[in-house]
Chain A
Amino acid sequence: KQEVTQIPAALSVPEGENLVLNCSFTDSAIYNLQWFRQDPGKGLTSLLLIQSSQREQTSGRLNASLDKSSGRSTLYIAASQPGDSATYLCAYVRIGGTSYGKLTFGQGTILTVHP
């Protein structure tokens, strides 16, 4: 059974800090990996998508990397702001089989950025 683990489960930081969220997976047959943000009681907002042929993607203050050989992805948030407070989820799509883009999710990291 493919597993996705996110560490830490929760993180509280002061505003302005740079921080790293970790995602590890046991499945090596990854086609792409997607990072999402989820606000309490809300839907999932896509932040970044990394294809398996890529090593990283950047959007504004966010940078995500993917290392398939070690089964890890990291999401780096620069100069964190209180508005970044949310749950961050990673999820991947598996290569091949009958997959039509089914996402397998981690349990998320709850981020709190305090002023």
Chain B
Amino acid sequence: EPEVTQTPSHQVTQMGQEVILRCVPISNHLYFYWYRQILGQKVEFLVSFYNNEISEKSEIFDDQFSVERPDGSNFTLKIRSTKLEDSAMYFCASKGQGWNEQFFGPGTRLTVL
């Protein structure tokens, strides 16, 4: 069964460093998303991506964040200069055409020291 994959599963970085989180969405999907979950809190929407551009972003998704689909399979989230408060679980999700369900990856746990 097709699934969303994410790498790495755990990333530890120093404050101020750049990190890139990687996702491989389900192959025939068209809509891609990043969400995050700070420990003990709700899952929060960060950004949606469709037709090679950002379609919607939350107030969390400031200039330190960027997304890219560099080829036909990968979808990346870059944080340019990490802060302590960026420590969270980051989930990638994808969905096909239409208003149907989103499928989530296993997440990348980002720890900023």
Contact = CB atoms under 8 A, between A and B. Distances in A.
A34 B55 contact: no
Interface residues of A, number: 26
Nearest to A107: B42
Interface string B90-113: 010101000111111111010000
Which bracket fits the contact residues of B? 20 to 34
A43 interface: yes
A104 B45 contact: yes
A71 interface: no
Contacts of A51: 99
A49 B101 contact: yes
Interface in B53-110: 55-56, 91, 93, 95, 99-107, 109
Secondary structure of the B contact surface, majority rule: strand
Interface of B: 31, 33, 35, 41-45, 48, 50, 55-56, 91, 93, 95, 99-107, 109
Interface of A: 31-32, 34, 36, 41-46, 49, 51, 89, 91, 93, 98-108
Given A36-B104, A101-B99, 11 more contacts: A42-B106, A43-B105, A43-B106, A43-B107, A46-B103, A100-B31, A100-B56, A102-B45, A102-B56, A103-B102, A107-B41
Contacts of A43: 91, 104-107
B50 A100 contact: yes
A102 B44 CA distance: 10
